[in-house]
Amino acid sequence: MNLNLNKWNKNWALMNRFFKAGEIALITSRLNNLKIQNVVFCSFENRFAKSGGLAAVTTNILPYLKEVNNIPNVILMTPFYSKLMDKNKLKPTGQFFSVLFNNRKVQVSIFEYTWNYSSPSSGSINEYYLKADGFFESGNTSQDPYLYFEGNNSLNDKAMRESALLFCKAAPLAMNILTMRENIIFHLQEWQTALISLTSKVAMLNGTLESCGTAQTMHNSYDSFIPSEVLSTITEGTMRQKASATYGNGLTAYQIGLQLTDAPVTTVSGHFAEELTTDILQTEYFAPHLQSIFKKNNVYGVNNGAFINPSPEYIKNGLPSLQEAKKIKLQKRKILLKVLSRYKPKERIGELTYKGKTISKLPADIPLILMSGRYDPLQKGYDILLRATEKFSEDEIKVIMTPSTVRSSDMDYFYEVACKCKGNLVVFPFRMEAGYHELQRGATFGVMPSVYEPFGAAVEYMANGTVNIGRATGGLVDQIDAECGFLFKEDAVFCTLDNIRSFAETGAVVQMRKSNPWAQSMADNLYETLKKAIYIYQHKPDTYHKMIINGLKRINKFSWESSAQKYFQVYEYVVCRL
């Protein structure tokens, strides 16, 4: 399916702020003659430094970009995180260069990792890791590449911004050192790499690169303000003066990058692309400053592929029959109950019991509800499920949560609910050492009460034979329908800017959200949806197991081959279209 980009026109509204007429003419001529030969996927996450879904994208899509589209060379360019990564897993290239940054020379070394893949066909991808002392020095127990200073947002934002700016200035120079100087498309991921849409043009003007263009994918709308004097650290010559005079105090990374990129802007699901210009959470809270840019040039959704393959038990002879699905699911449930009765790490919060005794003999009609993933109080909605859990009586439901978190204080509300709902809730914080896959396969329902979700992991539950319950937002709407799961949404009247702000401001102490009408409505509607889903599970087992089969079918809608084809359509628009 095509992206229907025919009405898109290049938005170079900011070009005259940075470049002279002759410089713009030169850049235009280079883009007019550009061929799609070298795609450079620029990401602040990689296989060795992961936070959200971006790392999973980088380790899935690159072979498809190369093989499906017959692109001669596709590479990954990413930071080397000295406090998170083992450089012994990488090969030093022996290549290094200096970057003039903030009036000093910063030496950047290039490390390499060769990824040999077998799908969609056999081949290899080179991954290049840029190492610079004093930059990319995030270090924390959760191995999060975006976390430099725990508990100090100001210092963290400053360190992240400086690392991002250095990377954006270094990327074109690295391509020069690697002797890839022409017919380059930088595929930029997130705000951290967005300013390569500026530095790559500078690189063509100063002779560092011969021809290069940029395409931008937004995995969410997080952004960073770049003061004019800070922006000047990655520009040079007369442009330094122009940068310091651009729009007063400065602009955000996306305000600059989205107006200098050379192709249609994409995000990772069709519904989230719509929400960027229609959902109050985006239009008035996260991205009001980008609305004029979005409305001029739109944002296009390219769904991710599935991150995992269907569980082989379900598809060894094609799709299972109802009876086969029931048999497999019951086996997986029994295995999970054994795990839950034995797995008791010291950091566990709460305990699952049945009639005050072991969980191993839990009757088949009592549902096991799972919520997993990183703990993000502004996005993931753990507190919403906790509030819904409080409404159930003892032994009516069993809830398992696996929040990946850093601060022990984040667990306060989990402790509170575990005490109130004794026997109904268990929490495994941090990383599980055993049992995670059994959880995904044996749970009755996987819950995603996300406040927003650009793509999400609903297809992962489907692949494991678990029915989804998700808030109707972003990519969850693209993945879940009534045939394979359940969607819920709060009452629209409560979704106001004041309630959203109050919700965001109470992220450190989520118990304070009990008086927030928006959060209350989300929890109430999730509770009602859980009740509906449980009724179907208990009283209409054929319908429930048909949902499992439909979920296995629906996975086929999400393929990396399709994603790669659509991104190639975007790359074709890099060639100048004014």
* Three-class DSSP category at 269: coil
- On the question of pLDDT at 240 being above 60, the answer is no
Tokens 């009757």 sit on residue: 363
Task: Of 242-251, 311-320, 425-434, give the range with the top mean pLDDT.
Answer: 311-320
What pLDDT does residue 10 have? Answer: 83
Structure token pair of residue 59:
């380790």
Determine which of 150-154, 346-350, 496-500, 535-539 has the lowest per-residue pLDDT on average: 150-154
What pLDDT does residue 1 have? Answer: 57
Structure token pair of residue 170:
């270094």
HEC readout, 38-106: EEEEECCCECCECCCCHHHHHHHHHHHHHHHHCCCEEEEEEECCCCCCCHHHCEEEEEEEEEEECCEEE
Give the mean model confidence (pLDDT) for residues 487-510. 96
Determine which of 21-25, 240-244, 453-457 has the lowest per-residue pLDDT on average: 240-244
pLDDT digits (tens, 9 = 90+) for 518-552: 999 999 999 999 999 999 999 999 999 999 999 99
Is residue 144 within 8 A of residue 83, CB to CB? The reply is no
What pLDDT does residue 362 have? Answer: 96
User: What is the DSSP code string of 126-175?
Assistant: EEEEEEETTSS----TT--TT-SSTT-HHHHHHHHHHHHHHHHHHHHHHH
Length of the chain, in residues:
578
The domain limits of the chain are: 15-305+561-572, 312-558
How many other C-beta atoms can be found within 10 angstroms of the C-beta atom of residue 1? 6
What pLDDT does residue 237 have? Answer: 59
CA of residue 410 relative to chain centroid, distance? 21
Structure token pair of residue 69:
């589209």
C-alpha distances out from residue 267 to 138, 330, 453, Å: 26, 38, 11
Of 3.40.50.300, 1.10.240.10, 3.40.50.2000, 3.30.360.10, the CATH number of 15-305+561-572 is 3.40.50.2000
Buried b (16+ CB within 10 A) or exposed e, 489-518: ebeeebbeeebbebbeebeeebebbeebbb
- On the question of pLDDT at 57 being above 90, the answer is yes
What pLDDT does residue 169 have? Answer: 96
What pLDDT does residue 52 have? Answer: 79
Q: Identify whether 310 is preceded by a cis peptide bond (ω within 30 of 0).
A: no
Give the mean model confidence (pLDDT) for residues 462-471. 98
Return all residues near 188 (Cβ < 8 A) that are at least 6 apart.
42, 194, 196, 197, 214, 215, 216, 217, 257, 261
What pLDDT does residue 404 have? Answer: 84
Q: What is the CA angle 28-33-35, rounded to 5?
A: 125
Of 46, 47, 55, 49, the C-alpha closest to 145 is 49
What pLDDT does residue 529 have? Answer: 98
Tokens 């998700």 sit on residue: 470
What pLDDT does residue 422 have? Answer: 93
Of 46, 17, 336, 85, the C-alpha closest to 190 is 46
Give the mean model confidence (pLDDT) for residues 200-229. 95
What pLDDT does residue 102 have? Answer: 87
What pLDDT does residue 405 have? Answer: 77
pLDDT digits (tens, 9 = 90+) for 73-92: 999 999 999 999 988 999 99
pTM of the entire structure? 0.95
Q: Where are the beta strands (DSSP E) in 428-546?
A: 445-448, 467-471, 485-488
Find the largest Cα–Cα distance for the chain. Answer: 79
Q: For residue 243, how many C-alpha atoms fall within 13 Å in the half-sphere facing its CB? A: 22
- On the question of pLDDT at 222 being above 70, the answer is yes
- On the question of pLDDT at 227 being above 80, the answer is yes
Give the mean model confidence (pLDDT) for residues 503-526. 96
User: What is the DSSP code string of 215-235?
Assistant: EEEESS----EEEHHHHGGG-
Burial degree of 308 (CB within 10 A; 0-12, 13-18, 19+): middle
Between strands 425-427 and 398-404, the pairing is: parallel
Between strands 250-252 and 225-227, the pairing is: antiparallel
Give the mean model confidence (pLDDT) for residues 441-445. 97
Give the mean model confidence (pLDDT) for residues 396-415. 89
CATH number of 312-558: 3.40.50.2000
Confidence of residue 239 (pLDDT cuts 50, 70, 90): low
Give the mean model confidence (pLDDT) for residues 224-241. 77
Q: Do domains 15-305+561-572 and 312-558 have the same CATH topology?
A: yes
Tokens 């000093």 sit on residue: 104
- On the question of pLDDT at 430 being above 80, the answer is no
Give the mean model confidence (pLDDT) for residues 321-339. 96
Phi, psi of 340 (to 5 degrees): -65, -30
Give the mean model confidence (pLDDT) for residues 201-215. 96
Distance CA 526, CA 482 (A): 15
What pLDDT does residue 267 have? Answer: 97
Confidence of residue 406 (pLDDT cuts 50, 70, 90): low
pLDDT digits (tens, 9 = 90+) for 369-399: 999 998 999 999 999 999 999 999 999 999 9
pLDDT digits (tens, 9 = 90+) for 135-157: 999 987 678 899 998 878 899 99
What pLDDT does residue 451 have? Answer: 97
Order across the sheet with 445-448: list the strands.
Answer: 349-350, 425-427, 398-404, 368-374, 445-448, 467-471, 485-488
